[in-house]
Structure 1
Amino acid sequence: MARPQSADYAQRREAIVEKAAELFAAKGFNGASMAELAAACETSKSLFYHYHPSKEDVLHAVMASHIDQLASDVEDVERLGAGPADRLAALIRTFMDHYVGAASRQKVLLNELVHLPADRRKAIVEKQRMVIDAVQRLLCAVHPALGANQDRAKVETMLLFGMINWTHTWFDPEGPVSADEVADMVVERALAPMKTA
């Protein structure tokens, strides 16, 4: 008979995902054992399995929680009644806010995708593409001539993500430049005139 879910099941499951993100970010998927995951969560391995039946399951939960947040950010910004420049700026700032607040999850998403089973990896990649495509559409709306050269538009889009995706490797929240200032720098570059041919 399956163990019944406790009243705080979702809260405990999320706490496990957060600790797992930190451990996977620090040690990598292969370097982190289930025993270490359970210890980091201050629980037994058997109780850990109650929340996540496998190490791949908790890895998927880490990645899905992060990409789902970014996809939700896209949906929220697309509902704004603002023009494309304001929506792009809002999306960049929102992404930066989440990247800084979820640096471990971002690192895991970027580095550990290969360890997911094929079906779950495919679902994560599809959401990543949706987020990338949404940003590319906004860039092309801001820079209409870019829309005529989709190859260049893709490069510009990936350059934008390159500016923010790797902030977890160098950005210091306690440093002299704030996350908001970094986001403003990215916005300034994204809105500046671009070479389109």
Structure 2
Amino acid sequence: MARTQAADYDDRREAILDKAAELYATSGFLGSSIADLAVACGMSKSLLYHYFSSKDDILFQIMDGHISVLRLVVAEVENEADPERKLASLTHRFMELYVDASARHKVLVNDLDKLPEAQRQQIVVSERQLIAMVETIIAALSPPLADNPEKCRAAAMLYFGMINWTHTWFNADGPMSGQEVADLALHIFLQGLPR
């Protein structure tokens, strides 16, 4: 007879992913064992395996879930006609997510190379789709970049370079809010440094 799932199965999976992201973000994927995760979750290792097939599966689910949310954010702003407002909305939403899910974001940025090749390629494809979505916005903002795909890609990567690494230095309790950081990043990206 097949084992039935508890009513809170999905909630417990998400709680495990949250704990795993925190653990991997602080100790690294390779520095964290299933035993460490079981202790952090207050459950046995065998119970963890009821929810996930392996440590690699947990890592993949953290990354896939996070990038899926990022892609949803892009889809949310898709109907905005003005490309500058679209980029502003996107940047603010990205910063909200990076602040609220900083552990998951750190794992995505730092541990992609730890995934098995097939899963890593799935995440890379999703990342490329996300980059292409931002390239489309940039091309609408800048006709010269629209005519030069290499420079448009470089601009998209520079944009992500500004905001993707905020997890390494941004402090939500510090002197600037995430929204202020988003505003500054937008200003620098669209107009250069304030003078």
Structure 1 length normalisation: TM-score? 0.94
> Between the two proteins, what is the percent identity of the paired residues?
49
Residue 65 of structure 1 is matched in structure 2 by 65
5+ residue gaps, structure 1: none
TM-superposed CA distance for 1:152, in Å, is 1.6
- Whether 1:150 aligns to 2:145 is no
Q: CA RMSD of the aligned region, Å?
A: 1.2
Q: Matches of residues 17-28 of structure 1 in structure 2 within 5 Å?
A: 17-28=17-28
Contact between 1:3 and 1:50, CA under 8 Å: does it hold in 2? no
Q: What amino acid does structure 2 have at the position aligned with 1:149?
A: N
Residue 101 of structure 2 is matched in structure 1 by 102
Residue 86 of structure 1 is matched in structure 2 by 85
- Whether 1:132 aligns to 2:131 is yes
Paired with 1:88 and 1:190, the residues of 2 have a C-alpha distance of 10
Residue 15 of structure 1 is matched in structure 2 by 15
Residue 41 of structure 2 is matched in structure 1 by 41
Q: How many residues align?
A: 192
TM-superposed CA distance for 1:2, in Å, is 4.5
Structure 2 length normalisation: TM-score? 0.94
Paired with 2:52 and 2:94, the residues of 1 have a C-alpha distance of 28
Paired with 2:81 and 2:147, the residues of 1 have a C-alpha distance of 23
- Secondary structure of residue in 2 paired with 1:172: coil
Residue 167 of structure 2 is matched in structure 1 by 168
Paired with 2:27 and 2:102, the residues of 1 have a C-alpha distance of 14
Moved over 6 A (4+): none
Paired with 2:172 and 2:29, the residues of 1 have a C-alpha distance of 25
TM-superposed CA distance for 1:132, in Å, is 0.6
Paired with 1:47 and 1:10, the residues of 2 have a C-alpha distance of 14
For residues 96-135 of structure 1, the C-alpha deviation after alignment (integer angstroms, 9 at most, x for no partner) is 1101111111111111111212221111111100111111
Paired with 1:183 and 1:84, the residues of 2 have a C-alpha distance of 16
Paired with 2:3 and 2:184, the residues of 1 have a C-alpha distance of 50
Mark the CA change 1:2 to 1:56 in structure 2 (over 3 Å): closer, same or farther.
Answer: farther
Contact between 1:23 and 1:32, CA under 8 Å: does it hold in 2? yes
Q: What amino acid does structure 1 have at the position aligned with 2:165?
A: W
